[in-house]
């Protein structure tokens, strides 16, 4: 049987009667990169928040590392690194100082882990720049470094390349691939940009108005469709994804 590190069963979230995530069955294989693709408002962030126990599902269940959860259990979360929306840090501290605080809170050897994590995402260690002076791209990188501090097996990253320029996007893509291929981590990454998922992921899930329209490998999807963009336009009712 295939081993899934995340599996959701009929996972559903309603906000005031409005369906944000509608009976979603996701299957994320250990050691792979899963790209969750969907327009703004499709339900990507809500889905990830449920997996992280940040908001409870209205109905449905999910398993993480083969344990069934309803969203309230916390014991598995040290095995997960997450980046949800633009991360909040202390504006008047440097990036290094911010990460040192988070490392200490997690009982990690601060200077060693912080230096490693900053290097991984291409930010300088002990730089004088304050967080409030960071560009959006630097903030995203710092958020990624924070997600990596405790060497998690599973990374849940919500639009991690948001705000980066094309070179920054390519760099982050390469390092996310390295985390998977060389370090054996599993990644769930969301994006509203088709080409980004196409270049990054092994498997793809297409979310549209809370519904998972398709889930398969990128390879299979390409074999079935000559033009991915046209295909996405067709299945999302003509509007396309990005």
Ligand X SMILES: Nc1ncnc2c1ncn2[C@@H]1O[C@H](COP(=O)(O)OP(=O)(O)O)[C@@H](O)[C@H]1O
Residues that bind Mg ion (CB under 5 A): 44-45
Using Cβ positions, the residue closest to Mg ion within the complex turns out to be 45
Q: CB of 91: closest distance to ligand X in angstroms?
A: 24
Residue among 15 and 90 whose Cβ is closer to ligand X: 15
Long-range contacts of 12-21 (CB under 8 A, 24+ apart): 12/57, 12/58, 12/59, 12/60, 13/43, 13/46, 13/47, 13/50, 13/55, 13/57, 13/58, 13/210, 14/58, 19/209, 19/210, 20/46, 20/210, 21/46, 21/47, 21/50, 21/57, 21/210
Q: What share of the chain is helix, strand, coil (3-state, %, to 5)?
A: 35, 25, 35
Q: Could you say which of Mg ion, ligand X, none residue 139 binds, taking C-beta under 5 to 8 angstroms by partner kind?
A: none
* Torsion over CA: 193, 196, 199, 205 (sign): negative
Dist. CA 55–CA 68, nearest whole Å:
16
Given ligand X, Mg ion, none, residue 152, with its beta carbon under 5 to 8 Å by kind, binds none
Q: What are phi and psi of 37, to 5 degrees?
A: -105, 135
Out of 10, 15, 66, 105, name the contact with ligand X by CB under 6 A.
Answer: 15
Q: Which of 5, 6, 11, 20 binds ligand X (CB under 6 A)?
A: 20
Q: Is 140 in the site for ligand X (CB under 6 A)?
A: no
CA–CA dist 70, 135 (Å, integer) = 37
Under the binding rule (CB under 6 A), the answer on residue 41 touching ligand X is yes
Residue 40 in the binding site for ligand X (CB under 6 A) = yes
**Residues in Cβ contact with 16 at an 8 Å cutoff, skipping those fewer than 6 apart:** none
Among ligand X, Mg ion, none, what binds residue 41 when CB lies within 5 to 8 Å by partner kind?
A: ligand X
Closer residue to ligand X (CB): 55 or 96: 55
Q: Contact, 128 vs 72, CB < 8 A? A: no
Residue 193 to residue 172: CA distance in whole angstroms = 15
Total residues interacting with ligand X, rule: CB under 6 A: 10
Interface segment toward ligand X; rule CB under 6 A; list 36-44, 58-66, 95-103, 144-152: 36-44
Please say which residue, 137 or 205, places its beta carbon nearer to ligand X: 205
Kindly tell me which of 44 and 139 has the beta carbon lying closer to Mg ion: 44
Closer to ligand X by Cβ: residue 25 or 153: 25
Stretch that binds ligand X, among 42-50, 114-122, 178-186, 215-223 (CB under 6 A): 42-50
Contact 210, 21 (CB under 8 A): yes
Structure tokens at 168: 């920054």
Residue 15 near which of Mg ion, ligand X, none (CB within 5-8 Å, type-dependent) = ligand X
* Contact residues: ligand X, CB under 6 A: 15, 20, 38, 40-46
């Amino acid at each position: 049987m295939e081993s899934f590190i995340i599996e959701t069963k009929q996972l559903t979230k309603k906000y005031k009667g409005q369906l944000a995530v509608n009976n979603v069955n996701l299957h994320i294989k250990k050691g792979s990169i899963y790209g969750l693709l969907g327009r703004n408002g499709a339900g990507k962030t809500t889905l990830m928040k449920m997996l992280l126990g940040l908001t409870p599902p209205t109905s449905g269940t999910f398993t993480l590392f083969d344990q069934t959860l309803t969203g309230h259990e916390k014991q598995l979360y040290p095995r997960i690194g997450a980046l949800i929306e633009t991360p909040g840090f202390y504006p008047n501290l440097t990036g290094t100082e911010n990460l040192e605080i988070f490392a200490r809170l997690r009982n990690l050897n601060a200077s060693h882990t912080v230096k490693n994590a900053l290097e991984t995402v291409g930010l300088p260690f002990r730089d004088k720049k304050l967080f409030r002076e960071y560009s959006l791209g630097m903030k995203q990188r710092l958020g990624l470094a924070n997600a990596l501090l405790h060497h998690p097996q599973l990374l849940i990253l919500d639009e991690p390349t948001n705000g980066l320029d094309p070179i920054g996007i390519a760099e982050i893509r390469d390092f996310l691939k390295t985390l998977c291929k060389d370090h054996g981590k599993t990644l769930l990454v969301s994006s509203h940009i088709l080409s980004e998922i196409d270049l990054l992921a092994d498997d793809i899930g297409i979310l549209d108005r809370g519904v998972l329209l398709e889930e398969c490998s990128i390879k299979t999807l390409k074999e079935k469709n000559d033009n991915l963009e046209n295909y996405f336009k067709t299945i999302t009712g003509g509007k396309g994804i990005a």
